[in-house]
A and B are shown apart, each in its own frame.
Chain A
Amino acid sequence: MARNGASPEAAHASVKRLIAEKLRFLVPMTIIFMVGYIGLTALAGFAKDLMGTKVVGSVNLGFTLIAFNYLLSWLLAIVYGRIAADRFDPLAAKAASETIDRG
């Protein structure tokens, strides 16, 4: 038999913990970029005047928010890379080892 605790059930339980951990981070992050981007398209559709508010020189709020969305996407990509390496990968490795140890 396997070493301590290694079994399909243990592996499946570890995967459940991994998924819970993923949801804890990915749900807010997904909401952030969806609200950021779809919200921007909605504003472009329904609040044209607001989007035309000048921010710096001739650059209006619309272009500022577009620039902000670029920075946000890049930031989220880096943050995701960090979180995945620090939190998801160890849990995934644990679940994988519990399967491989079996038998």
Chain B
Amino acid sequence: MNLTLGIFVVILLITLGITYWAAKRTSTTADFYAVDSQLTAAQNGFALAGDWCSAAAFLGFTGLTALYGMDGAFYALGPLVAFCTVLFLIAEPMRNTGKYTLGDIIRSRMQTRTSLLAAIAGTVVVNFAYLMPQMAGAGVLVRLLTGISYDWAVIFVGVSMIVYVAFGGMLATTWVQIVKAVLMLSAGAIILVMILSMIHFNPLTLFADAEQKYGVKYLLPGNYLKNPFDQISLGLGYTLGLAGLPHVMTRFYTVPDAKTARRSVVWVMFLAGAFFAGTTLFGLAAANLVGQDVLRAADKGGNLTLPLLAQYLGGGKGSLGGDLMLGFVAAVAVATILAVVSALTLSTSGAIAHDFYVNWVKGGRVEGRQEVWLARVTAVVIGVLAIALGILAQGVNVAVLVILAICVAASANFPVLILSLFWRRFNTGGVVGGMAVGLVSSVVLAMIGPAMRGADALWPLVNPTVVSLPLGFLGAVLGTLMWGRDAENEQRFDAFLLQVHTGVASK
């Protein structure tokens, strides 16, 4: 395991070097939250790939495929399809309308304090629900890979993330994501070539071997997601939830215009999509070569499948090649967590410092230099909170939080965002109604479902999106109708549309 530690220390030194470089170039609020909108499409595309492929994707999809067959491939496909929604409906309007946060869009559409508060709630709940399992996962992973204790592992990850964000802002976060994406894609490419060379470059062999070893049922759907509605919930959660994840969507503020935002989505679709497709092949190969029993013995959920596969391909346990491959993949996994938690911290600090303090409490009347300082301090506070939550989460089943994050994003943030952009009559009542109903129904249904209560579940679905998403839309529509007509808001909609579709703010 010392090799893993060595490779990881190298990656850490690189990211700290980046942060030092980025800190010198981060002085204004626009620098801190959005790299002053100076990134190219390729840079943002790589950063999006680094941001969007969390450890759940990197380690989880491979493990799910290895242990459960086709359901793992469904998990891997969803995050790519999700970008179709973002490309068609969200990316360009986001770039044209907002500045630093999701709340900016709601604020510029409604121009009311109440709607801003609802938007802040949506961002903070989603981000913390996403952040906590990432911290807990980081603790388990770093402990497993380096041998330090869980608490120290969480503290170590948390402190690194605070340093990146507080000093280097979005610029450091972006380059940590880019470095991680390049490492992840290289690891994927190396593993893919090694697998293919073993099976004479005929991927069909993977399926034939898996069928022979584990039977026909292994390649059928439903081995992991037993309830058919859970399959559909998963699909809906992905395709519409991504568009409601603030830490990914704020990446579109880092490019100069809508055309660049669009091109960066195409980049991420090819980069991340290729990697996701790869995880399905890696999973099958791991089941064939390493074997499900070994994978299960290492981690019940199969989360160590990819590192173990890499070790096998490198020459097996104890060989130099095996240790080197294992160390490389493990270090990339930790880099993955660092990239994702940094983005979450930055995005949450935007919701608290920019949306809540500057715009809600102070009505926008805060001096530029003071706002940057506030943002940095807020990032530190959120980081410390994340460390505390991560330590508290040890041994707690945090799987429900992962589901909750994507479910709230799809059921609360997405309806409010999409109706803000496209419905003239949508008003403050609708924002509050959509957020409240989407949030509450997601939280309640996830808490009484099998992910939290196991066999005592009061309701059958692990992932409630299939129900909570329509409820969120219903809440938004009813809220709008109950609020009554808002003539001024509807008149302003023409000017808002002009900005949404052209990027020009009319006077």
Contact = CB atoms under 8 A, between A and B. Distances in A.
Nearest to A32: B84
A48 B225 CA distance: 12
Contacts of B280: 66
Interface string B205-239: 00110110000100111100101111110111001
A84 B260 CA distance: 12
Interface string B45-57: 0000000000000
Interface string A30-51: 1001101110111011101001
Contacts of B229: 45
Contacts of B211: 58
A37 B501 CA distance: 27
Contacts of A40: 74, 235
B494 A12 contact: yes
A96 B204 contact: no
A70 B258 CA distance: 25
Given A12-B497, A37-B239, A66-B73, A77 B269 contact: yes
A42 B83 contact: no
A15 B125 CA distance: 35
B228 A46 contact: yes
B231 A73 contact: no
A29 B84 CA distance: 9
A41 B271 CA distance: 23
Contacts of A67: 277
A78 interface: yes
A19 B497 contact: yes
A44 B81 contact: no
B354 to A, nearest CB: 27
B70 to A, nearest CB: 5
A1 to B, nearest CB: 15
Interface in A69-95: 69-70, 73-74, 76-78, 80-81, 84-85, 89, 92-93, 95
Contacts of B506: 8, 11, 99
B444 interface: no
A44 B210 CA distance: 19
B324 interface: no
A4 B497 CA distance: 22
Contacts, number: 159
B239 A62 contact: no
A92 B221 contact: no
Given A19-B497, A59-B207, A81-B262, A96 B503 contact: yes
Contact of B501 (A19, A34, A51, A100): A19
Nearest to B223: A48
Contacts of A96: 502-504
Contacts of A45: 221-222, 225, 227-232
A5 interface: no
Nearest to B226: A45
Nearest to A22: B501
Contacts of B239: 33-34, 37-38
Contacts of A30: 84-85, 88-89
Interface in B53-107: 70-71, 73-74, 77-78, 80-81, 83-85, 87-89, 92
Nearest to B209: A58
B359 to A, nearest CB: 25
B262 A37 contact: no
Contacts of A44: 70-71, 74, 221-222, 225, 228, 231
A96 B500 CA distance: 11
B273 interface: yes
A37 B266 contact: no
A44 B78 CA distance: 13
Nearest to A42: B232
B503 A15 contact: no
Contacts of A76: 84
Given A37-B78, A73-B273, A77-B87, 18 more contacts: A15-B494, A18-B501, A29-B88, A34-B239, A40-B235, A41-B231, A41-B234, A44-B70, A59-B207, A62-B219, A63-B207, A67-B277, A73-B81, A81-B262, A81-B266, A84-B262, A85-B259, A99-B504
Q: Which 9 A-B pairs have the closest CB atoms?
A: A45-B228, A41-B235, A44-B221, A45-B231, A58-B207, A96-B502, A58-B211, A58-B208, A41-B231
30 contacts: A8-B494, A8-B506, A12-B495, A15-B497, A15-B502, A29-B88, A30-B85, A30-B88, A30-B89, A33-B84, A33-B239, A37-B77, A44-B222, A45-B225, A45-B227, A45-B232, A46-B228, A51-B70, A52-B220, A57-B204, A58-B207, A62-B73, A70-B277, A73-B83, A74-B269, A76-B84, A89-B259, A95-B502, A96-B503, A96-B504
